[in-house]
Every structure is written in structure tokens, then in C-alpha cells.
Amino acid sequence: MPMDAWCDTLDAEQIDAFYEAGVLKLRVPVAEQARPHKIAISGGSDRKEPDS
């Protein structure tokens, strides 16, 4: 995956790194626009019940 593809999915302003007990820990959050969204779908008035 090209590096520029990551630019739209990561929140570069919120990247955090710290060193603790000999381990380097990184926190790289996902950008809000890259998070999954729910879309409401309403049914039409001409909806039919399935035949049994």
C-alpha cells in the first residue's frame, strides 16, 4: 500500500509515542472520516410482506 494512502486514514495530529519499561509504545488513531458510519435506511410505503 502506498504511503499516501495512509494519510487519509490516520489522524497524524494525535499520534503519540512513549517509552515504558524498555518498550516503545505507539498510539496511532484512525481519522474520523475513515471510521465506519451507519446510514439509516427507511422502508417505502409500498412494502409487501413475503408469501409463506
Model confidence, pTM: 0.46
- Where are the chain's structural domains? 3-32
Task: Report d(CA 43, CA 21) in Å as an integer.
Answer: 56
* pLDDT score recorded for residue 21: 95
* pLDDT score recorded for residue 52: 59
Q: Could you report the per-residue pLDDT of 1-52, keeping only the tens digit for each?
A: 565 666 678 888 888 999 999 999 999 888 877 777 788 888 766 666 666 5
Task: Report d(CA 31, CA 6) in Å as an integer.
Answer: 10
* Residue 31 exposed, middle or buried by CB count within 10 Å (0-12, 13-18, 19+): middle
Task: Report d(CA 10, CA 31) in Å as an integer.
Answer: 5
